[in-house]
Amino acid sequence: MLARTGISFECLPPGVDETRLPGESARGLIARLARDKAQAIAAQRPDAWVIGSDQVAILREGTADERLLGKPGTAARCVDQLRACSGQTLTFATGVAVVRGADASLVEFTDITAVRFRTLDDATIERYVSREAPLDCAGGFKSEGLGITLCTAIESTDPTGLIGLPLIRLCAVLREVGYQLP
């Protein structure tokens, strides 16, 4: 997605433990992981501006039965996630941190997208999972693909946020730190 900006970059694995800390909120988790990922790479490349990002899908956010939905990994877990999302609103929170190690610069933000699912029967869910196999997507669906047919609405200030990297706000931050973007 970052290639859309025309900036040259490389992707490096940060090697950060993504385990949720006891009592940590979903939004706290993604903010911490984005920052930790960026800082891990910035320690290796102190003169570079480093972007760290993490996303979580939250079902029934702010309620006693709040549930985080990660990447399902298997078709069975994907089916279970989509059953849970049927007729519900899923909140996608994406944390982004832009860091430069040389001067300890840090800019952070969170992007929120709400996805409302229509009521889904088992046959619909099975057909969808079979056709798109969204096993590596938080929440078990791809809005940029066939998954859009499962939704009744998507509310966001940045449509790229749902796909994993909110480019509108990120481009603003990159301009703030000195990048020339059209």
Give the start-to-end residue ranges of the domains of the chain: 23-176
Q: How confident is the model at residue 65 (pLDDT cuts 50, 70, 90)?
A: confident
Residue 62 has a pLDDT of 86
Angle 75-85/122-132 helices, nearest 10 degrees?
A: 130
Contacts of 58 (CB under 8 A, 6+ apart): 26, 66, 67, 68, 69, 90, 91, 92, 93
Average pLDDT (28-54) is 97
| Beta-carbon count within 10 A of 97 CB | 25
Please tell me the class of the 23-176 domain.
alpha beta
Residue 117 has a pLDDT of 98
Catalytic residue IDs? 54
Contacts of 108 (CB under 8 A, 6+ apart): 31, 34, 35, 95, 96, 97, 98
pLDDT digits (tens, 9 = 90+) for 110-149: 999 999 999 999 999 999 999 999 999 989 999 999 999 9
Residue 67 has a pLDDT of 93
User: In angstroms, how far is CA 43 from the centroid of its own chain?
Assistant: 23
Give the chain's mean pLDDT: 96
Is pTM beyond 0.85 here? yes
pLDDT digits (tens, 9 = 90+) for 80-116: 999 999 999 999 999 999 999 999 999 999 999 999 9
**pLDDT over threshold 90, residue 156:** yes
% pLDDT > 90, the chain: 95
The C-alpha atoms of residue 69 and residue 71 are separated, in whole angstroms, by 7
**pLDDT over threshold 90, residue 164:** no
